[in-house]
Amino acid sequence: MTEIEQLEQKIKDLTSLIDVTSIITSTLDLDELMSLVMEKAQEVMHAEASSIMLLNEATGMLECHIALGSAREKVKDKIQLKLGQGIAGWVAQFGEAVIVPDVEADRRFFPEIDQSTGFRTRSILAAPLKVKDRVIGVAEVLNRLDAHPFTKENLDIFSTFCRQVALAIENARMHQYMLEQQRLKQQLDSAHRIQQSFMPQLFPHSENDRYFIYGKNIPATAVGGDLFDFVKINSNLLGIVIGDVSGKGIPAALFMARLISDFRYYSHLAKKPAELLHMLNSALLKRSQQGMFVTLIYMVLNMQTGELTISNAGHLPLLWRRYESNHVQKLDRFSGIPLGILPSADFNELQIQLQSGDFVLLFTDGITEAKNHLNEMFSLNRLLQVCQQPTQQPQVLIENIVNQVKIFQGPISQHDDITLLAVRWQ
């Protein structure tokens, strides 16, 4: 090759690299990007076929993502190599580019691919796709059209191609990841809004101010398994429920949504709180999956007299603060087992009479088990101390408890759903 021809070839190579740069910046679609770049590489190398294999980090296998040439569909469907297997596997294992002028004379060659696709490989030029010294795949061009072996100049230009391609692939993957994260966040935000719509948006109100009720739910993630709800049984009775589904996240949220639906249905059929728990337990056992269950307290308030009938299915004890004595009592001697575990579960009832100024507090373990940087829990004792402080309205009490838990946690993030519900008898 004359000096002028060498200069012309260098200009062509430089132009090709500029073209590749233009291609890389033209799209963030991974498959489209690899196809366009390998078409250019195949053209510049005057090759019969080309391919890109990417490393599946989960399996440790090289998998064909793009194959161009006469057997492209067969090749794409068939190729999967272990590290060290075949020319591509060797390049991926050692991270070095290689020219194989005659594959039949190279013991690293893996002929089974040709046998399964009908393609005949004569020579190979292969280079690793590296990002910060980490091999993410291998690019190959096969069989020069003029039947000559690939040259050192071919290797240099192709290796430069591959450095650009590797960065472009990583950028495209990052773009896809960010889009997926954005889509997931949008879905979780929607799920959060939908789940919160299951919770009461307005709280029961007494026309003669005989009682005040307030509740708050703070999921640890976008969605959670805690719940509270109210149902007016008749003109005298108000049903009140709080529950904590085992687990967290989307499975618990779906379980919770169905449970609220069941509660609203059965609350109009059951005559007593214990009977409602039996109905819910039977319904949950019929469709119980993966050992999920729920702890729950259901109580019925007589809105005329202040009598409260309570049934507990394995939930944390209800706290009853008596106004006259300023004493907070744990009602923990009548709890049954959680719902959705045993068909023969037995549930008891307890009746208490609220006096003027009394309140009851229901809560989930996201309060008592909240941890600080020393791995200490907020605990029931700290909650009792907060409840001991004078207060008038349920909302003030609940906001105070939540604030005290946040102060206790400090920089430690919330690890469990938090739900509180308070009833004050006037």
In Å, how far from its chain's centre is CA 18? 41
Residue 330, token pair as written in the block = 């744990």
Residue 180, token pair as written in the block = 């997926």
In sequence order, the 6+-apart residues with CB closer than 8 A to the CB of 392 are 424
Would you say residue 74 has pLDDT above 50? Answer: no
Percent of the chain with pLDDT over 90: 50
181's enclosing H/E stretch is: helix 152-198
Whose CA is closest to 258, among 234, 233, 292?
A: 292
Please state, rounded to an integer, the average pLDDT across all residues of the chain. 86
Residue 347, token pair as written in the block = 């549930």
Would you say residue 123 has pLDDT above 90? Answer: yes
Torsion-angle region of 396 (φ positive above 0: left; ψ -120 to 50: alpha; else: beta): alpha
Which domains does the chain possess?
3-174 (3.30.450.40), 195-425 (3.60.40.10)
Report the C-alpha gap between 338 and 283 in whole angstroms.
13
Report the C-alpha gap between 49 and 39 in whole angstroms.
9
Amino acid symbol at 95: G
First-to-final CA distance of the chain: 102
Between 19 and 135, the more confident residue is: 135
Least confident of 8-22, 325-339, 367-381: 8-22
Least confident of 35-49, 73-87, 192-206, 328-342: 73-87
Between 154 and 130, the more confident residue is: 130
Whose CA is closest to 319, among 208, 401, 198?
A: 401
**Burial of 353 per CB tally in 10 Å (0-12, 13-18, 19+):** exposed
**Residue 127: CA count within 13 A, CB half-sphere:** 22
Q: Which string of b and e fits 155-186 if b means at least 16 CB within 10 Å?
A: bebbbebbebbbebbbbbeeeeeeeeeeeeee
pLDDT of residue 5: 58
Looking only at the bridges linking them, the beta strands covering 307-313 and 335-336 are parallel
Report the C-alpha gap between 398 and 359 in whole angstroms.
12
pTM score over 0.75? no
Interior CA angle at 287 toward 281 and 288, to 5°? 70
Mutual orientation of helices 249-266 and 273-287 as an angle, nearest 10°? 130
pLDDT of residue 3: 62
Q: φ, ψ for residue 56 (rounded to 5)?
A: -85, 105
Provide the pLDDT confidence category of residue 380 given band limits of 50, 70 and 90: very high
257-305 pLDDT, tens digit per residue, is 889 999 999 999 998 999 999 999 999 998 766 678 999 999 999 999 9
Top-ranked range on mean pLDDT: pick from 56-60, 94-98, 171-175:
94-98
Looking only at the bridges linking them, the beta strands covering 47-56 and 134-144 are antiparallel
CB 243 within 8 A of CB 315: yes
